[in-house]
Structure 1
Amino acid sequence: MVAQNFGIVVKLTDGSMVTFCVDTPPLEWFDMRKDDPTTFLAQLELDKKLKCSFCPRIFDKWLCWNETDAGSTATAPCPDFIPGFFPTRNAHKACLEDGTWFRHPDSNSTWSNYTMCVDHADYEWRRFIISLYEFGYFLSAFALIVSLIIFCSFKCLECTRVRIHKHLFVSFIINNILWLAWYRLVVNDPILLVNNPWWCQTLHVFVQYFMVANYFWMFCEGFYLHTLLVLAFFRSETQLLKGFYVFGWMGPVLPMIFYVYCRATDTRDETCWVEQSSWNHILSIPVCLCLVLSLGFLINILRVLLKKLKDNQKNFSSALRRNSSIGGVDNQHSLKKAVRATLILIPLLGLHYLVIPFRPDPGSKRLEAIYEVVAAATSSLQGFCVALLFCFCNSEVINVFRRRCCPRMMEDKSPTHRADNSCAPTNRGDEKAERNESI
């Protein structure tokens, strides 16, 4: 649209002349001048010969461009809400000689030049990191769904420990699927961030809720394991499970309500709430508290485990006297069990997140790149590691498949096996013994 406007010449009382452009002639001004000349300190004259040509104000869904003189180029800082854009750089928009904005020949629509906003090498790197997240979340969700089907299909696996595993797996699955939706629907669509639809903010709320719930269920895993190994007795596993259900699924509700209220009432928060805000601390505090307590559980579990291994070594004191080399071998075996227990419990309790917050300085690009790869791999593949360690590599699950696939072989190897092919511990003592043995 060509913006041809009338030029208004303002003759001031001191005799000086000022010219400016308007969209339509202000005819009422001249009527008022004729009726009551004293109301004007200046005399207005309409110069019909003078034409002003400029590009009108326009919003391209990313930036608002002001009126620009024909034949010039408008400049504006790059938007800071677009991933990969540098706000310190400038975007450009060309206004042609005829007072129209430049149109791209391919789309035949007005086009703003944002190419200078992007560091293309950095953009490609960010795309690689996002792809790494998407691959990890997809692989984890698939492995966890298969694991959940296995746990639900074989009733002989049913026990308190597996019930907690199933709820943890569900929180992982939903969390991973929601993150995939977030990356696909929101992160890759900058225009959506500008429009800021209600469903986008709703998706953000669900992503944050299930992320916090996932941490809470990791805490439940650590608390149950700590109770099982460290405490000699507790009243009722049924009551304990009910407490886990309430804490794991209802615990995140209160901080989420406070978080949503604060972000919804903050007028600065737009762009689907994708930007980091000080309100994120509302969710970070309970998550960090769960991680710190889980770390305490791990330390105490390892202390008890090493003490039990040390007590078992004393039972072989007579053998140690006969052969001094046995002691070294037994110590190495105990150390290996402790290291294995630590490596297994770290992904289950989410303790690798205690290292991720320590991001290198922005100036060290190589360290920052290593950090981003490690953070993407550990965060997105945590669910896969948990499914691998606690389902696919679980001796009970393996024995179930062996009994179903090769029942005769199992009868030959273990003639005293249970008649009902049960694989779950029948009581708390059996479960505690199997947990000690598995670690």
Structure 2
Amino acid sequence: MIVGTSKTAVIESIAVTLPQATMSPIEAAMEAAKQACYETVLTLPYPDDGRLYCNRTFDSWGCWNDTLAGTKAYTKCPGFIKGFDPGLSTAFKDCNKDGTWWRHPKTNKSWANYTPCVNMGDFEKNRMLIYTFISGYTVSILALAVSLGIFCFFKQLQCDRITLHKNLFVSYILTGLVWILYYVFAALDAQVLIDNPWWCRALHVICSYFTACNFLWMFCEGLYLHTIIVCTFTSGKTLMIVCYLLGWGLSIINTTIYTIIRSTHPTESQRCWTDESELMYINAGTCIASILINSVFLISIIRVLITKLRAVNSPDTNQTSNPIIENSAYTATPMNGSTIHSQNSAPLIHTPKQSFIGVSTRKATRAILILVPLLGLQYLFILYRPDTDERGLQIYSIISAFVTSFQGLFVACIYCFFNGEVIAIMKRKWGQHKLMRGGRRGSSRRGTLYSTQITSGEVPKPTESHVNTDL
């Protein structure tokens, strides 16, 4: 006797096919497994020996035959699930004594144990890759937090350009934090991926949102820099409003669409949404577009830089400094209704009386090296994952993990720790601090000396040094 539902209801509920034109490779594999299950198990006659059985079913991964109550059912591990090895072992499913499949207490859904299917060799490789991500994100978060503190503490660094940097740094920090949480509580636990709890999927959605925000703030950096250098009569306030809307707002729309579509797509809702899916391009498309547009911005900026350098180094022009080239650090210098950097930090410092080719080449190269991590253009080198052998793919994955997770550290070093303007301001602040401490100690020593002399009956004569000190 089968408990739970009729044969017709079971077959009709399981043998629903997907439109072939919209199938991804994993969907096609699932559909093939479903058809095979339908032909080999689901259409077989039901047992009529009078004993209690759990009903036959297909759970998107494995095909389960009628199973005697109080026993275990076994099935072959699916080969279409990433990280599973069908040759390793078999998955199993418990049939309760009342003829119902065992339900997981956290989800209250029928559950099968696919843990024996996990290829532990691949899992350990992925674990080492995840540790690289966690290490990189941790170091980057610490560096970015210190940089944010410096930017917020010193009033001399308050301008639109630094405001953009601060928002970009915040997006780096939030992205790193949520990915660390995701790796620690989900990706490193194979059982969590198999159980696929709601909080794991929610964490994946949050990671997707902040990752998209991070790329959009890189785009905002490129948009702002390109606008103030190339365009004219631009309102800095309007430009900042546009950057805020793009940086934090656009990702809400993309992520919401992605979440709704994927949550209603049964074959895309497994393994905490870690499996590759074409739906990811809803968010990834925005990230890729940001990188490509930033590359166009960089080319345009370098073109303007070379043009200005040609004009400045021309013998027909005097050697007065060019505001676009020299004013490139953090001092708020008005230009086209906005603010740009001043010369101390700068990637683009004018050096008179040198050959144009040498000067322009050095400055253009330095500008490119400085702007590449800020605009996220290093992702152009890892945008395409090569279909090579396992060794080549592992090397690509390690490089990708390093570039992605340590990017925040590189940006913090270039635009804060190694920046000339920031270093000069911090040195000046430290000098003022030492001067004030020295002044207080000097006043304290003079007060102690005067008190001692009065106590001993000696009144100091007003020497030149005393007079000058009072003045």
The TM-score, its normalising length taken from structure 1, stands at: 0.68
C-alpha deviations, 1:199-241, integer Å up to 9, x for none?
222211111111111111111100111112222431x211211
- Check 1:313–1:328 CA distance in 2 against 1; reply closer, same or farther (3 A cut): closer
- Check 1:310–1:409 CA distance in 2 against 1; reply closer, same or farther (3 A cut): farther
8 Å Cα contact 1:78/1:90 also seen in 2: no
Q: Offset at 1:270?
A: 2.3
Aligned residue identity for 1:310:
R
Show the 5 A alignment for 1:184-223.
184-223=184-223
Aligned residue identity for 2:206:
F
Q: Offset at 1:250?
A: 0.8
Q: Does residue 105 of structure 2 align to residue 92 of structure 1?
A: no
- Check 1:116–1:170 CA distance in 2 against 1; reply closer, same or farther (3 A cut): closer
2:77 matched to which residue of 1?
77
8 Å Cα contact 1:91/1:116 also seen in 2: yes
2:239 matched to which residue of 1?
240
- Check 1:306–1:204 CA distance in 2 against 1; reply closer, same or farther (3 A cut): same
Structure 1 SS opposite 2:268? coil
Aligned residue identity for 1:353:
Y
Unmatched segments (≥5 aa) in structure 2: 1-46, 94-111, 320-351, 436-471
8 Å Cα contact 2:140/2:405 also seen in 1: yes
2:420 matched to which residue of 1?
395
Mapped partners of 2:293, 2:156: distance in 1? 32
Mapped partners of 1:218, 1:352: distance in 2? 12
Mapped partners of 1:118, 1:133: distance in 2? 21
Mapped partners of 1:85, 1:93: distance in 2? 11
Aligned residue identity for 2:51:
D
8 Å Cα contact 2:175/2:211 also seen in 1: yes
8 Å Cα contact 1:171/1:213 also seen in 2: yes
- Check 1:64–1:405 CA distance in 2 against 1; reply closer, same or farther (3 A cut): farther
- Check 1:152–1:115 CA distance in 2 against 1; reply closer, same or farther (3 A cut): same
C-alpha deviations, 1:74-110, integer Å up to 9, x for none?
45124755x6323x43523799xxxxxxxxxxxxxxx
Structure 1 SS opposite 2:76? strand
2:411 to 362, 376, 386: 386
2:260 matched to which residue of 1?
261
Q: Offset at 1:176?
A: 0.6
Structure 2 SS opposite 1:294? helix
Q: Does residue 386 of structure 2 align to residue 360 of structure 1?
A: yes
Q: Offset at 1:152?
A: 0.8
8 Å Cα contact 2:215/2:287 also seen in 1: yes
Mapped partners of 2:91, 2:273: distance in 1? 28
2:370 to 338, 341, 344: 344
Mapped partners of 1:90, 1:270: distance in 2? 25
2:168 matched to which residue of 1?
168
8 Å Cα contact 1:74/1:93 also seen in 2: yes
Show the 5 A alignment for 1:109-188.
117-118=118-119, 120=121, 122-188=122-188
Mapped partners of 1:76, 1:145: distance in 2? 49
- Check 1:200–1:119 CA distance in 2 against 1; reply closer, same or farther (3 A cut): closer
8 Å Cα contact 1:132/1:377 also seen in 2: yes
Q: Does residue 336 of structure 2 align to residue 308 of structure 1?
A: no
2:468 matched to which residue of 1?
none
8 Å Cα contact 1:63/1:79 also seen in 2: no
Q: Offset at 1:198?
A: 2.2
8 Å Cα contact 2:54/2:66 also seen in 1: yes
Aligned residue identity for 2:208:
Q
8 Å Cα contact 1:139/1:381 also seen in 2: yes
8 Å Cα contact 1:73/1:92 also seen in 2: no
Unmatched segments (≥5 aa) in structure 1: 1-18, 25-53, 96-110, 320-325, 411-439
C-alpha deviations, 1:360-413, integer Å up to 9, x for none?
224x23322221111111111111111111111111110111001124999xxx
Mapped partners of 1:22, 1:340: distance in 2? 82
Mapped partners of 1:316, 1:21: distance in 2? 104
2:451 matched to which residue of 1?
none
Structure 2 SS opposite 1:280? helix
Structure (1 or 2) with the greater strand fraction:
1
- Check 1:71–1:398 CA distance in 2 against 1; reply closer, same or farther (3 A cut): closer
